[in-house]
Amino acid sequence: MNDSYIYVIVALLPLAAVMLTVQVNPYNALVIRGILGGVAALVYAVLGAADVALTEALVGTMLTTTLYAVAVRSSLVMQIGVLKDELGETDDRSPFFQLIADLQTIGSKYHLRLELLPYPNPQSLHRALIEKEVHVTCIERSHEDEHDSAEIESGRQPYHTAVRIHRLYDILQTELASPATTLTYVTATDSGEKH
Amino acid sequence: MINILSYICIGVGIVFWFWGTFPLLGKRSLLFKLHSLSVADTLGSMSIIFGLLLKIPNQWSLLVLALISLAIWNTVLGYVLAYCSSSGGKHE
Amino acid sequence: MNLILIAMILALLIPIYEAWQDENIWQKMLAFASIASKTSVMILVVSVLRGDWMIGVVGVIILSVGNAGLMLLAHVIKRMNEA
């Protein structure tokens, strides 16, 4: 057992572990986790523990990587409630699309995925925000207060973005430089649970 | 004689490994790397396992299984990776 | 045989370095695929070197099943990039 290659192979394991810990992007970290699983299986097999190596390869590399992928995908998501008729617009230049594009760049900076959920009217949108179906709502101001829409269109900020998660609100407040929207923080019904 | 032949096979396999892995370091496109990796790596691994088979022929069933699974899986994996990366890259 | 294993470890270090320095996730997946097949072949070599066939069976199982996990992960990441 005192062969020199064993030391080199065992030294690969902390190398892969350090590589895993310095990753920032969660998806990259998942791939590195697979690499760590492969190296760990090799180390266990070289040290003579065949059963541990088999378990590491099957559970550590296959099962947990897939489960983590599903978990990361479903948790790192920003659900945005919008009105249904605004999704129907096809003009790429409209302020709504500008706003969504801005949100997308901010989200990709924090590895967040955007999910647009359409709602039929402003009332149901507001209820969805309060009942925690969505994290953020984007709504045109003219739908909210029943003012003359032409007057609002000439105003500077035609959209109103309501956020119910405090951390998300902090991020958006520092990063969102879009002239199209105002930003407010809304406390949902049960404010004890945050994100 | 058989021993020397098996060492030659394993040596050729390791040369193939290096040959297939070094393009991974460059700034080439993904498909170029995938091509060199799947061809040279699979051939190298199969050559190494063939060398082991020459060395210990009485466990041939296990090593032939390894050869077959290596050939099939790496080919399929090459296709799957190319398919996923090309259609995934289009949306970015 | 020791020299062969040292050369294999050197060949294994290349994709590890590649996975560390490249930021594109598909390049990382490529390095992962390379590492997965290389480690299982190394396990087979070690089992022949020692004449321990329990390790050999494990190496073959890892070789044939570990790649399936890789494909699953590739599809999940593809779905991730699409959404």
> Into how many domains does chain C fold?
1
In a domain? residue B92: no
Residue whose C-alpha is closest to residue C37's, from B61, A118, B77: B77
Enumerate residues 6+ apart whose C-beta is below 8 A from C9.
Answer: A5, A8, A9, A12, C42
Task: Report the complex ipTM.
Answer: 0.90
Q: B13-42, pLDDT tens digit by residue?
A: 999 988 888 887 777 777 888 888 888 888
Residue A49 DSSP SS3: coil
Q: C35-56, pLDDT tens digit by residue?
A: 888 898 989 888 888 888 888 8
Q: What is the DSSP letter of A133?
A: S
Write out the residue range of the structural domain in which residue C67 sits. 2-82
Residue whose C-alpha is closest to residue B85's, from A97, C53, C27, C51: C27
Question: Cβ atoms within 10 A of the Cβ of A88, count?
Answer: 8
Q: How far is C53 from chain B (nearest CA, A)?
A: 9
Amino acid at residue number A43: V
Interchain pair C48, B56: CB under 8 A: yes
Kindly state the average pLDDT of the residues B48-70: 86
Alpha carbon separation from C35 to A67, A157, B9, B62, C39 (Å, rounded):
21, 53, 21, 21, 6
Interchain pair A31, C55: CB under 8 A: no
Cα nearest neighbour of A30 on chain C? C73
Interchain pair C30, B59: CB under 8 A: no
Instruction: Assess whether pLDDT exceeds 80 at residue B65.
Output: yes
Write out the residue range of the structural domain in which residue B72 sits. 2-87
Residue matched to tokens 């953020």: A136
- Which residue has better confidence, A63 or A107? A63
- A82 has which bridge partners? A118
Interchain pair A34, C46: CB under 8 A: no
> Into how many domains does chain B fold?
1
Instruction: Assess whether pLDDT exceeds 60 at residue B44.
Output: yes
Question: Cβ atoms within 10 A of the Cβ of C6, count?
Answer: 14
Residue matched to tokens 């925000």: A129
Q: A139-168, pLDDT tens digit by residue?
A: 776 655 544 444 444 455 677 778 887 788
Cα(B27)–Cα(B85) distance, rounded to whole angstroms?
17
Diameter of chain A measured on Cα atoms: 85
Kindly state the average pLDDT of the residues B47-69: 86
Q: How far is C76 from chain B (nearest CA, A)?
A: 9
Q: In chain A, which among 71-100 make CB contacts under 8 A with chain C?
A: 73
Beta-sheet strand order (sheet of A136-140): A113-119, A77-83, A136-140, A159-163, A181-185
Cα(B9)–Cα(C4) distance, rounded to whole angstroms?
11
* Burial track C24-35 (b if 16+ CB lie within 10 A, e otherwise): ebbbbbbbbbbb
Q: Are A178 and A138 in contact (CB under 8 A)?
A: no
Enumerate residues 6+ apart whose C-beta is below 8 A from A116.
Answer: A80, A82, A87, A100
Q: Which CATH class is domain A77-185?
A: alpha beta
B76 touches chain C (CB under 8 A): yes
Tell me the domain boundaries of chain A.
Answer: 4-74, 77-185
| Helices B60-90 and C25-50: angle between axes, nearest 10 degrees | 170
Instruction: Assess whether pLDDT exceeds 80 at residue A94.
Output: no
Tokens linked to A126: 């507001």
